[in-house]
Amino acid sequence: MFDFATLKFIWWILVGALLIGFAITDGMDMGVGSLLPFVAKSDTERRIAINTVGPHWDGNQVWLITAGGAIFAAWPSVYAAAFSGFYMAMMLVLFALFFRPVGFDYRSKLNAKRWRGAWDWGLFLGGAVPALIFGVAFGNLLQGVPFWLDDLLRPHYQGSLLTALLPLLNPFALVAGLISLGMLTVHGGLWLQLRADEPIAGRAQKIVATIAPAVTILFALAGIWMWFGVDGYRIVSEPAHNAMPNPLAKEVVRASHAWFDVYRAFPVALLAPAIGLAGPLLAARLSAMGRAGLAFVASALAMTGIIGTAGLSMFPFIMPSSLKPNSSLTVWDATSSHLTLSVMFWAVVIFLPIVLGYTVWCYAKMWGTVSAGEIETRSHSAY
């Protein structure tokens, strides 16, 4: 039904949608985990916070698994290069995520302060560390990744495996990481304001009022930094977009302000950074007015704008190479075959509505404010 070039573009949109879906759903869980030591003072209060996400966190995390699977199937070259270059960072994320299922399932098995306190901090690490590292990864993609492709299209990296993590933690990438951590923390705080009883909801509201404006400031700072201090990438020549993928068949140059080309060519794309800047402030304002539901929607829009800004700025690049720009991987030359993209597309058309349907049903059936009375009547429950 669709030609090869159209399918390549569709899958760029679909992978982006999966990443945004992960940020909105599982980011909420990570935000709650990041806030756990600060919004809940007693064991009952911590159980209230945990129970707001307890029934949903495992389903939400499937968005991350699905996004990884989609990258593997749709962009195998990106999957191979990224999982090699970001190996240490991904292992750090993985080890942090280990604390989440074990913490949720085992925290309340023993009524011991030290036991439960240790798992509370484990849930904090499982929320804050991945949120930070995901942003750091995007920050490094915008700067270019130190890899190149040989004649057999095998990726090679500069440096050793043991020293691979430190260069990723550069100042611009850390700003991107703080944006990611901040926006997920705001999202989790709004969820607590929406679902948790007092005094947790009030504490979460105060935190949102502080962090949301900081997200806008950091996002603006990142944009200014990109304009003055981060060179972008521009394709000078390339094969037809319908051609079979070959990353080395194009010519790429690094250029100042190249990441802003899309906004000059398509001014409507400026909606993404505008939403990313205004969304956190709107969420904070609605939160202060006690409109937590609308604030949660505004937060989701803000994350869509921020992630969308990164994707639009880099388009059509997915993973630019800082060592040999011609080795950069793009939407047009890092994909699977036409048949693979077609089969995956129809799988999405069939199964995505089913997934969204039962997800909405689960949230609707388990909706309500989590209170201390409810927690105390279920002292031996899983959470």
In a domain, 292, yes or no: yes
Total domains, the chain: 1
- In this prediction, residue 8 carries a pLDDT of 95
Whether residue 320 is contained in a domain is answered as: no
Angle, vertex CA 288, rays to CA 285 and CA 293, nearest 5 = 80
**Would residue 258 count as lying in a domain?**
no
* Cβ atoms of residues 52 and 191 within 8 Å: yes
DSSP letters spanning 15-44: HHHHHHHHHHHHHHHHHHHHHHHHH--SHH
Whether residue 341 is contained in a domain is answered as yes
Walk along the chain (383 residues) in steps of 10 and give the mean pLDDT of each run.
Answer: 90 93 90 91 86 83 85 90 81 88 83 86 92 93 91 80 68 95 95 89 93 97 94 92 89 94 94 96 94 94 96 95 93 92 91 86 80 66 57
3 contacts: CB under 8 Å, gap ≥ 6: 242
Q: Give me the residues paired with residue 157 across strands.
A: 147
Question: How far apart are alpha carbons 144 and 172 in whole angstroms?
Answer: 12
CB 136 within 8 Å of CB 176:
yes
Tokens standing for 345? 């597309």
Amino acid 26: pLDDT: 87
Contact predicate 147/158, CB 8 Å:
yes
pLDDT in tens, 276-296: 999 999 999 999 998 999 999
pLDDT of residue 233: 95
- Residue 24: what pLDDT? 92
Asked whether residue 253 is assigned to any structural domain, the reply reads no
Residue 368 is predicted with a pLDDT of: 76
Per-residue pLDDT, 299: 96
CB half-sphere exposure, 131, CA atoms < 13 A: 31
Q: Which two tokens stand for residue 302?
A: 């803000």
What does the block give as tokens for 244?
A: 């079979």
Residue 151 lies in a domain: yes
Asked whether 75 and 336 are in contact (CB, 8 A), the reply is: yes
Residue 361 lies in a domain: yes
Task: Tell me what pLDDT residue 383 has.
Answer: 62
Six-digit token string for 142 = 């915008």
| pLDDT at residue 94, rounded to an integer | 87
Residue 259 lies in a domain: no
Percent of the chain at pLDDT above 90? 54
Give residue 124's domain range. Answer: 4-232+273-310+335-377
Q: What is the pLDDT of residue 163?
A: 53
The residue ranges of DSSP E strands in 115-249, in sequence order, are 147-149, 155-157, 232-237
The whole model's pTM is what?
A: 0.91
